[in-house]
Structure 1
Amino acid sequence: MNYKPVKVETAVFQKAKQGQHYCGDSYFYTETDNEYVCALADGLGSGEFARESSEIVIGIIRDNIDATIEQLIKKCNQQLIGKRGAVIGILRIDFKSHQYSFSSIGNIGILTITDNGKKKRNIPNNGYLAGYHRPFKVVTDKLRPMMRFILFSDGVTDKDLSHRFLLNKDVYHVVQTFADYTDGVVRSDDTTLIAIQYQG
């Protein structure tokens, strides 16, 4: 059996809001020969209907991974007409051009971390997807060796993001430490943290 080396390592922590059976956050990631795509969606509110909206978004991205970020966001927006709505973050890493692109709308955040430990938090576009036209921007930048990304929903606080364990180069360690750190903490929002490392 041939082993295909993974160019991007991904680890995920997810927990529903206190008192909720359903988590309103949904995520998806995949790697092909040419690219890596990761998406995180948070349905407005919490519970089963929030989950429905976030799963609609993730399903569209899963079925259209070759589309551009702009096309994906527009498709997701169209499918949320009459639904509760969702916020979204999409990251795409292009192995051939050595660039990454991302866009986030609403309270999905993304943190980039270079190999020397320099962190940069990017500001999302305002609003949410609910079938209405929503202006947004896509940021594209140079991909650096061993670059890391933290994609997170609004259950992750500013205090959480200040901890040094996010700088660890082992994404599984980042997620496990975050799980240990938040164990027993009452969270007022659904919480998802996705740690990503480009191995190039």
Structure 2
Amino acid sequence: MKQNNVDVAIFQKAKKGRYYCGDSYFYTETEDVFVCALADGLGSGEFAKESSQIVIDIIKNNIHTTVEQLIKKSNELLTGKRGAVIGILKMDFHSRHYSFSSIGNIGVLTITENGKKKRNIPNTGYLAGYHRPFKVVTDRLEPEMNLIMFSDGVSDNDLSQPFLLNKDVNQVTDAYANHVSGKVRNDDTTLIAIRYEN
């Protein structure tokens, strides 16, 4: 989908033998910002989906707040629920910076036009209503940049594949689908390919 500055394509599959995928995602672009969130409910199946969807609904309704506030608000509403891990990416088109934070095993890989990769290390743990320290990484948006957000079903081997450098995000997700085709899926898997053009 292309609106302004950003292209997005998504690959998602439930773990083997499951109808519900415990991963939920959301993205939106306005004139000022792009926000993308990926949440993975603990465990798998319907209750995992419920927890991840709670987080996504909060983010949908609060896209103009900071990444830090989004995580705190998500954490509060997961009290008494199964819990979830989460990654939130926010681009500010005016300052040309992005902010990212993740708790648990949601990762982001940034790839600049010259092919330089940088992987952000997530904060440990998960959201379940308890106070949890976390950090937010802020960095400069570079023209022609790819950002890959992924859940724990995506392996290190998957992240080393040259197709992640493709300028067309649909080709990235198509190539990923071919790459993992036929492999047994032990985890819910979501890979979100994002391209910042400006």
Query: Which TM-score bucket, shorter chain as reference?
Result: over 0.9
| Rounded Cα–Cα distance in structure 2 between residues aligned with 1:100 and 1:171 | 19
**Where does the alignment leave 5 or more consecutive residues of structure 2 unmatched?**
none
Post-superposition CA distance 1:51-95 (Å, at most 9, x none): 000000000000111111111000000000010000000000100
Normalising by structure 1, report the TM-score. Answer: 0.97
Moved over 3 A (4+): none
1:88-116 Cα distance to aligned partner (Å, 9 max, x none): 00000100001011001100000000010
Structure 1 unaligned residues grouped into runs of 5+: none
- How many residue pairs get aligned? The number is 197
**Identity %, equivalent residues:** 71
Question: Is contact 2:104-2:125 (8 Å) kept?
Answer: yes
The CA deviation string for residues 22-73 of structure 1, in whole angstroms up to 9 with x for no partner, is 0000000000000100000000000000000000000000011111111100
Q: 83, 87, 91: which one pairs with 1:89? A: 87
SS in 1 for 2:44: coil
Match of 1:135 in 2: 133
Per the alignment, residue 163 of structure 1 pairs with 161
Alignment of 1:186 onto 2:184: yes
TM-align CA RMSD: 0.9
TM-score, length of structure 2 as denominator length: 0.98
Q: Does 1:51 align with 2:21?
A: no
Report how far residue 6 of structure 1 moved: 2.1
Which residue of the partner structure matches residue 172 of structure 1? Answer: 170
Structure 2 residue matching 1:103: 3-state secondary structure: strand
Partner residue, 1:20: 18
Query: Aligned to 1:42, what secondary structure does the other structure show?
Result: strand
Match of 2:123 among 122, 125, 132: 125
